[in-house]
Amino acid sequence: MMTEADYYALFDAYRKGELAGAERANLERRLAADPNFAQRYTDFEELTETLTSYGERRATRQKLKAFQAEIDAEDETVVETGYPDMPVLHISPMERKLREFWGAHRATMAVAASVAILAVFVTLLGMEWWRTSQSSSLYGYTVLRREVERIKRNQRAMDRAINQIDGSKTADAASQSKFSGTGFALTADGYLVTSYHVIQGADSLLIESRDRQHYHAEPVFTDVAHDLAILRIKDKNFNGFKRLPYSFKRGQSDLGEKVYTLGYPREDLVFNDGSLSARSGFEGDTAFYQVSIPVNPGNSGGPLLDDRGNLIGVVSGRQMDVQSAAFATKSSYLMKLVDSLAAASPEAPYTLPRTNLLAGTSRPQQIRKLQDYVFVVKVYE
């Protein structure tokens, strides 16, 4: 449960542009969908403006004081105190006007000062709590990009593979590989799908197949709001995939359907299954499904399929405190994205598979056919 200080810290980071792309997109979706949450942000904006205005007024007052000090020596006005032993009091016209102004607005300024001090205290305290909690997630949601620097065991082999593919890359550059996720084939001619947060900030991408074949890839289009990215293999020696065995579902899937995913939370391909537990994702986001599947860092971007071998989603993240509560972008949003790209570039349409070769086969048979179309996405920065 987030406190008021947590909200203020989150909003402050959003205003300053300090949130990562996926976190910023999640926050903007929630602002659009939740009126109460949007009102919290509006209140924060008003409080911040009060603080800023107060700071500006204080700066102006200091400047006026400095100016007054310069002209005060002119002794344009002399006020007798009524006590012969007390020195006369010299008041300049500027100071007289200032005294009249501050006397009239003293109460207002006291309230503004109290609000500003409270806002500073809450913001500073909340920022510290927020920085601590943000090491893994944004308000309970964590994405599943894997930090491969800490756990991969074959870095030297990767260095050699990259050097063989692109002689201009040195082993030193290859050692900068930092993250990995999962991706899968979208078309037979080299387009792939993964999660946007997997490739966020990447300088270059390397696709690795189950049999350790490597290909350079580049982003074609990203959809931050729905955490989707379309990649294209750009190696000249790539001859295309075989016919894709699965089809993409354009409609909604039913609650309780049996589903499964393949991904790379480790160096080997990993299978997990479960069921579709909600038609909406984290905090009611209707662009996502919730599925009861245990997923781990590295599963992001992996395919989510139903029992008939229809691709129904793209694995995105999980709820922090519930290991088996995972979220996947609905395939219907992926299809809308592909349709819009194809309409924008009719000379290079996306040829999607029309028939499903997995239907009617057992789960092990489906996996054997599917595994050659699921890849590790290596991210280099």
Q: Tell me, yes or no, whether 108 and 255 share the same domain.
A: no
What's the CA gap between 291 and 327, in Å, rounded? 6
Name the pairing type of β-strands 303-306 and 310-319. Answer: antiparallel
Residues 132 and 156 in one domain: no
pLDDT at 155: 52
What whole-number distance in Å separates Cα of residue 144 and Cα of residue 224?
A: 15
* Class of residue 224 by CB neighbours under 10 A (exposed 0-12, middle 13-18, buried 19+): middle
Which domain-ending residue is among 139, 155, 187?
139
258 with 198, same domain?
yes
Residues of the chain with pLDDT under 50: 75-81, 83, 85-89, 128-139, 149-154, 167-175
Q: Which of 139, 155, 178 is the last residue of a domain?
A: 139
One domain for residues 58 and 173: no
Regarding whether 182 and 124 lie in a shared domain, the answer is: no
Instruction: Tell whether 115 and 77 lie within a shared domain.
Output: yes
CA 9/CA 50 separation, integer angstroms: 17
Q: What is the pLDDT of residues 298-312, one digit of tens each?
A: 899 999 999 999 999
Q: What was the pLDDT predicted at 331?
A: 95
180 phi and psi, to 5 degrees? -150, 155
Please identify which residue in the block is written with the tokens 């205005």: 53
- Boundary of a domain, candidates 92, 114, 139: 139
Q: Are residues 46 and 183 in the same domain?
A: no
The reported pLDDT for the residue numbered 260 is 97
Q: Which residues of 273-296 are buried (b: 16+ CB within 10 A; e: fewer)?
A: ebebbeeebbbebebbbbbbbebb
* pLDDT attached to residue 136: 42
316-337 burial code (b ≥16 CB/10 A, e <16): bbbbeeeeebbbbbbbbbbbeb
pLDDT of residue 174: 42
Look at the chain and report how many structural domains it folds into. 2
Q: Do residues 132 and 178 both lie within one domain?
A: no
- pTM of this structure: 0.58
Instruction: Output the domain CATH number for residue 346.
Output: 2.40.10.120
- 73 shares a domain with 162: no
Whether 171 and 100 map to the same domain: the answer is no
Residue 372 confidence (pLDDT): 95
Contacts of 158 (CB under 8 A, 6+ apart): 152, 174, 177, 206, 378
Residue 150 has what pLDDT? 47
Find the domain containing 217 and state its range: 142-381
Backbone angles phi, psi at 112, to 5 degrees: -60, -40
Q: Are residues 76 and 215 in the same domain?
A: no
Residues with Cβ within 8 Å of 234's Cβ and at least 6 positions away in sequence, in order, are 215, 216, 217, 218
Same domain, 25 and 148: no
